[in-house]
Amino acid sequence: MLAPSTTLRKQFGHIAERCAEFSLLYREELLTNPEAQTTARQLIQQSRQGIVTLLYGAKDLHLKEKIPRELGMMSRESLKF
């Protein structure tokens, strides 16, 4: 699973001012979690064969647009997968 930890999610609290910090901490979680790295590699391979749909939800409409867009801009190289 590629979801942020419960601790990080609660710390973020869907507060827009914490979005930049959340993004950095979430990326750090992804880089240090072997299960997340395996899942990301699988998604990358699947995306080479067809469309992969990632789901994300937020209470704030601004965040609903911002975070998935930022995640989409992360390359395999930036995540070191």
Cα–Cα nearest to 30, from 70, 59, 66: 70
Note if the pTM is more than 0.85.
no
- Of 27, 24, 26, the closest CA to residue 9 belongs to 26
Report the alpha-carbon distance of residue 35 to residue 50 in Å, rounded. 22
Domain ranges of the chain: 6-75
- What span, in angstroms and rounded, lies between the C-alpha atoms of 62 and 30? 23
Question: Would you give the distance in Å from CA 50 to the centre of its chain?
Answer: 20
pLDDT tens, per residue, the chain with 81 residues: 788 899 998 988 877 788 888 888 988 998 899 998 898 889 888 888 988 887 766 666 666 555 555 655 555 455 454
For residues 5 and 11, give the distance between their C-alpha atoms in angstroms, rounded to a whole number.
10
